[in-house]
Amino acid sequence: MLWYLLKLIILLPLIGGMIWGSLKLAQKLQSRLGVAPGAARTVRVVETLMLSPTQRLAVLEFHGREILVAMSRGGLTRLAEAPAREPESKP
C-alpha cells in the first residue's frame, strides 16, 4: 500500500506537468505556423451572433466587402453582401 501511494505522489505531478508542457508547446507551435503579427489578413470576422447551439450568424470582411453568412453543421451559407463600413473611432 505504501508503494502504491509513493508512486501516486510521484507520478501524478509528473503526468500533470507533461500535460501542461505539451499544451504550452502546442500553443507556441501554433503561433509560429500562423500569420506573422504584422501581416495583413484577407478575411476578418467582424461580428458573430449565436442563434442556437448549432447555428450562428457571422459578418466577415473580405476585400472591402462585408458578407453575412449562416454557419451550421451543414456548412456556410452566404445570406447578404454589402460594402465594408468604416471603423468607428472611439472618443
Same structural domain, 28 and 52: no
pLDDT of residue 40: 65
For residue 91, what pLDDT is reported? 59
User: What is the domain range of residue 57?
Assistant: 43-83
Residue 3 lies in a domain: yes
- Residue 2 sits in the same domain as residue 26: yes
30 and 56 assigned to the same domain = no
Percent of the chain whose pLDDT exceeds 90 = 55
pTM greater than the 0.85 cutoff: no
What pLDDT score does 50 carry?
93
Give the 3-state DSSP-derived string for 38-75, with helices as H, strands as E and coil as C: CCCCCEEEEEEEEEECCEEEEEEEECCEEEEEEEECCE
Whether 47 is covered by a domain: the verdict is yes
Q: Are residues 1 and 24 in the same domain?
A: yes
Q: Structurally, how many domains does the chain consist of?
A: 2
Tell whether 88 is covered by a domain.
no
The verdict on 79 and 50 lying in the same domain is yes
pLDDT the model gives residue 55: 94
pLDDT digits (tens, 9 = 90+) for 15-46: 999 999 999 998 888 777 765 555 667 888 88
Enter the C-alpha cell of residue 68: 453575412
Cα Rg, the chain, nearest whole Å: 23
- Asked if the structure places residue 22 within a domain, the reply is yes
> Mean pLDDT across the chain, nearest whole number?
86
Q: Is the model more confident about 42 or about 58?
A: 58
- Claim to verify: residue 29 and residue 47 sit in the same structural domain: no
